[in-house]
Amino acid sequence: MDVSPVVEVVAARLRYAGDLALDGVDFRMFPGEVHSLMGENGAGKSTLIKALTGAIRLDSGTVLLEGKVVNFATPAAAQRVGISTVYQEIDLLPNLSVAENIMLGREPRKLGAIDWAAMRASASAALEALGITIDPRSPLGSHSLAIQQLVAIARAISTDLKVLVLDEPTSSLDQDEVAELFRVIRELKTRGVAILFVSHFLEQVYEICDRITVLRNGQLVGEYLTTELLRIDLVQKMLGRESSELDVLESRSTPAVSPLGRQSIVSARGIGKRGKLRPTDLEVYEGELLGVAGLLGSGRTELARLLAGIDRADTGELMVGGNREHFHEPRQALRAGIAYSSESRKTEGIIGELSVRENITLALQAERGWVRRIPRARQAELSASWIEALDIRPADPERPAGVLSGGNQQKVLLARLLALSPRLLILDEPTRGIDVGAKVEIQRLIADLATTGVAVVFISAELEEVLRVGHRIIVLRDREIVATLDPDSVTFEILLAIVAKASGE
């Protein structure tokens, strides 16, 4: 290609909270193209975007804009040279007018005072260029999220825009709004703007993007032309395929109770939440390991959060152990015996400053209420037994949990939930970001657990893992369960095909 890239990131490396968030990643964008950055949780997408837009500084590596090395201290500095970002959570000011949101910071002035008439005229011009007809005087907060997003784009194009980053722009838009956004994106393309379109909706990526860069675990997998990359290949590149070292988990555990006599622990009928999960039926049986496969944004986490009472379902009903339940908060789900471990271990799980002992006894104490304090001796006994049972290392209950390795933190979390003696344990990506040995150990622990009659919902982005661990597998795609499978009768390739398939195919 004889066109040179408008922006380039070379050998980007960044260590974040102990993990290598970016490990020598190269990335480039050409003018007038729509480029997609793909990857699962922890792939390094958001870190790369932040590096590109001045929100963080790289440990090493360079960012080049039109061939020149640039070093942004702030996102505002990046904006000044033509790299703008429109975030999922719109970073504008809902309390001010549309015109101000577009123009503030470079508003036209007359004799030291803001020239409101000129400001509205410029704002109108920017809106018109995008074909948006709204009153620039109206407060931004009075418009829908879709319009607010277009206003954010209008703000970006009223400068000399070279690169526009759209981070999950379509996640809360309906179909018409997406079409409108795509019309605007195509308009910007013709002006030679390079657009980075980050979305987990594969359909949309294939509809609008010219080029795709895939990241996995902070590393570059490759850069491809959309037309030359089959959907199934893309998904495989995103999810990756591990070497055979994980086959150490020789054979799958067998369900503790034979399928015939088994009892349903959770039975969901048509539960769903607008924009999160379409109405879905699901049964989970005692002693069963239910593997959940699906891409980021497929509804896998959303399903887990509905079952665990973290989000409230709009529709459907939930039976737990034969009783009809309607959870308003996680406490109620816990009382019914459903425990949930979040995919965000660091922010929604482990409390790093507290000791391993305190982390383990936290949920149990919360369930008893703060008045009936667990005696210190009992706490020590409890944590010692869990440390031994799960082989948590170092085996020191007083060490702050934050210093433990990822795998051991995950075990501490497991111990916390198991101390509640749940009937159903929902684990959202429990093995993400931990090393291979710890991964196998945790998989084995989960398998052992099922033999005691506990039901486990096991969510993972790694298809082999789901295949290896689950007694039964469900696949989510486009916010609904699209298949229920027997792991003995499907191969990795078949599962991959189901996960990657376009809806309607």
Partner 1 sequence: MTITHETEPTTTAPVIPAWRRVVGSRVSWMPVLAAVALLLIMFAAAQAYFGRFITPGVISSLFVDNAYLIVLAVGMTFVIITGGIDLSVGAVMAFTGVLAAFLLTNGVPTALVVTIMIPTGALFGLLIGILVQYFDVQPFIASLVGMFLARGLCYVLAPRAIKVSDVGVLGLQSTKIGGGGWYITATVIIALAVVIIGAWVLGYTRFGRTVYAVGGSEQSARLMGLAVARTKVLVYVVSGACAGIAGLLFTAYTAAGYSLNGIGTELDTIAAVVIGGTLLTGGSGYLVGSLAGVLVYGVIKTAISFLGVDQSWTRITIGILLLAFVVVQRLIVARANRR
The residues of the shown chain that bind partner 1, judged by CB under 8 A, are 74-76, 79-80, 91-97, 100, 104-105, 107, 109, 112-114, 116, 128-135, 137-139, 141-144, 146-147, 155, 176-177, 179-180, 183, 187
Q: DSSP character for 398?
A: T
- Shortest separation between residue 183's beta carbon and partner 1, angstroms: 6
Q: How far is residue 100 from each of residues 22, 76, 119, 142, 503, measured CA to CA in Å? A: 37, 16, 8, 14, 41
- Shortest separation between residue 93's beta carbon and partner 1, angstroms: 4
If you count them, how many residues does the chain have? 505
- Shortest separation between residue 47's beta carbon and partner 1, angstroms: 18
Which CB sits closer to partner 1, 83 or 455? 83
Which CB sits closer to partner 1, 167 or 462? 167
- Say how far apart CA 338 and CA 457 lie, in whole Å: 10
Do 257 and 471 touch, CB atoms closer than 8 A?
A: no
Q: How far is residue 41 from each of residues 44, 219, 302, 351, 370, measured CA to CA in Å? A: 8, 13, 15, 21, 35
Which CB sits closer to partner 1, 16 or 116? 116
Which CB sits closer to partner 1, 134 or 246? 134
Q: How many CB atoms lie within 10 A of CB 248?
A: 11
Q: SS3 breakdown of the chain: % helix, strand, coil, rounded to 5?
A: 35, 25, 35
Task: Report which secondary-structure segment, H or E, holds 250.
Answer: none
The single residue listed with the structure tokens 């078949």 is 494
> Which amino acid type is present at position 151?
V
Q: Taking the mean position of all CA atoms in its chain, how far away is CA 76? A: 26
- Shortest separation between residue 45's beta carbon and partner 1, angstroms: 19
The single residue listed with the structure tokens 């990241």 is 215
Which CB sits closer to partner 1, 141 or 400? 141
- Say how far apart CA 189 and CA 195 lie, in whole Å: 8
Burial of 156 (0-12, 13-18, 19+ CB in 10 A): buried
- Shortest separation between residue 144's beta carbon and partner 1, angstroms: 5
- Say how far apart CA 36 and CA 31 lie, in whole Å: 14
Which CB sits closer to partner 1, 81 or 296? 81
Helix (H, G, I), strand (E, B) or coil at 195: strand
Q: What is the CA radius of gyration of the chain?
A: 25
Helix (H, G, I), strand (E, B) or coil at 89: coil
- Shortest separation between residue 206's beta carbon and partner 1, angstroms: 20
Which CB sits closer to partner 1, 175 or 489? 175
Which CB sits closer to partner 1, 171 or 491? 171
- Shortest separation between residue 264's beta carbon and partner 1, angstroms: 37
- Shortest separation between residue 165's beta carbon and partner 1, angstroms: 13
Which CB sits closer to partner 1, 170 or 361? 170
- Shortest separation between residue 146's beta carbon and partner 1, angstroms: 7
Which CB sits closer to partner 1, 94 or 437? 94
- Say how far apart CA 465 and CA 175 lie, in whole Å: 34
Pair of tokens at residue 83 = 């790299």
- Say how far apart CA 9 and CA 29 lie, in whole Å: 9
Which CB sits closer to partner 1, 134 or 249? 134
- Shortest separation between residue 185's beta carbon and partner 1, angstroms: 13
Strand ranges inside 238-353, DSSP E: 264-273, 277-285, 289-293, 315-320, 323-325, 338-341
- Shortest separation between residue 299's beta carbon and partner 1, angstroms: 25
- Say how far apart CA 486 and CA 455 lie, in whole Å: 17
- Shortest separation between residue 199's beta carbon and partner 1, angstroms: 20
Give the residue from 314, 339, 301 showing the smallest Cα distance to 476: 301
Give the residue from 475, 110, 476 showing the smallest Cα distance to 276: 476
- Say how far apart CA 474 and CA 484 lie, in whole Å: 4
Which CB sits closer to partner 1, 141 or 330? 141
